[in-house]
Amino acid sequence: MVISSDTYIVFETSNASGIKIVNQREAASSNIFRQKEFNLQSLGIGGLSAEFADIFRRAFASRVFPPHVTNKLGIKHVKGMLLYELPGTGKTLMARQIGKMLNGREPKVCIWFVLFIYLSVFHQMIKLIAL
Ligand X SMILES: Nc1ncnc2c1ncn2[C@@H]1O[C@H](COP(=O)(O)OP(=O)(O)OP(=O)(O)O)[C@@H](O)[C@H]1O
Q: Which residues bind ligand X (CB under 6 A)?
A: 44-48, 85, 87-93
Residue nearest to ligand X (CB): 90
Q: What is the torsional sign of CA 90, 95, 99, 102?
A: positive
Task: Report the alpha-carbon distance of residue 74 to residue 56 in Å, rounded.
Answer: 19
Q: CB-wise, 25 or 105, nearer to ligand X?
A: 105
Q: CB-wise, 18 or 87, nearer to ligand X?
A: 87
Q: CB-wise, 93 or 101, nearer to ligand X?
A: 93
Taking the complex as a whole, how short is the minimal distance between the CB of residue 117 and ligand X, in angstroms? 13
Q: CB-wise, 90 or 98, nearer to ligand X?
A: 90
Taking the complex as a whole, how short is the minimal distance between the CB of residue 98 and ligand X, in angstroms? 12
Taking the complex as a whole, how short is the minimal distance between the CB of residue 97 and ligand X, in angstroms? 9
- Find all residues with CB under 8 Å of 11, minimum gap 6, and list them: 21, 24
Q: CB-wise, 29 or 48, nearer to ligand X?
A: 48
Taking the complex as a whole, how short is the minimal distance between the CB of residue 124 and ligand X, in angstroms? 21
Taking the complex as a whole, how short is the minimal distance between the CB of residue 79 and ligand X, in angstroms? 20
